[in-house]
Amino acid sequence: MSKHPRNRRGSLASLVLLVLLVVGLMQGLAWWRDKQAADQIKAHLPGQHITMYSTVSCFYCAKARAWLKARDIPWDECDVEQDGACRATFDAHGAPGTPLIRVGTRWNLGFDPVWLAQALKSSDRAADQAQSSPSADTSPRP
């Protein structure tokens, strides 16, 4: 009968070790995704603007500011409580809260680095396609 409690302790220790391993792997994956997003944002940022519609008291806005600052990613901030033009744009969009992120013509409620990287990449591609498309102004034809 003395072996039974030891088996439980061994099983409990194995379970704790497994949980710690899973948590560690999840943290590692989150760090990797974050780094990938930051690298992609920096790669596609030249010539584009990120605008964050925010408020001073917004916790999620503060987290977004901190994330962008820590990675040296430039952005413009529009405080919807202090700036009437920002408030008008924010209200016209109909967003229920902040932060509201804009890249070109794309908008996203909340801050998501993966979305931001994809928005910059797609805006970058759209600009490349627009430049490569013939137009009356750039056409070599008379």
Is residue 96 a contact partner of residue 89, using CB atoms and an 8 Å limit? no
Is residue 92 a contact partner of residue 78, using CB atoms and an 8 Å limit? no
Rounded Cα distance between 93 and 87, Å, is 10
What does the pLDDT average to over 26-55? 85
pLDDT for 27 beyond 80: yes
The domains found in the chain, sorted by start residue, are 38-105 (3.40.30.10)
Q: What is the pLDDT of residue 5?
A: 60
pLDDT for 128 beyond 70: no
Q: What is the pLDDT of residue 6?
A: 63
pLDDT for 25 beyond 70: yes
Give CA 43 to chain center in angstroms.
14
Q: What is the pLDDT of residue 80?
A: 95
Percentage of the chain exceeding pLDDT 70: 82
Q: Is the dihedral of CA 36, 61, 51, 67 positive or negative?
A: negative
Rounded Cα distance between 57 and 135, Å, is 47
pLDDT for 70 beyond 80: yes
What does the pLDDT average to over 5-17? 77
pLDDT for 129 beyond 80: no
Rounded Cα distance between 70 and 89, Å, is 28
The answer to pTM > 0.85 is: no
Q: What is the pLDDT of residue 91?
A: 92
Is residue 127 a contact partner of residue 89, using CB atoms and an 8 Å limit? no
Of 2-6, 62-66, 117-121, 136-140, the range with the lowest mean pLDDT is: 136-140
* DSSP code, position 137: T
Nearest to 126 by CA among 99, 97, 106: 106
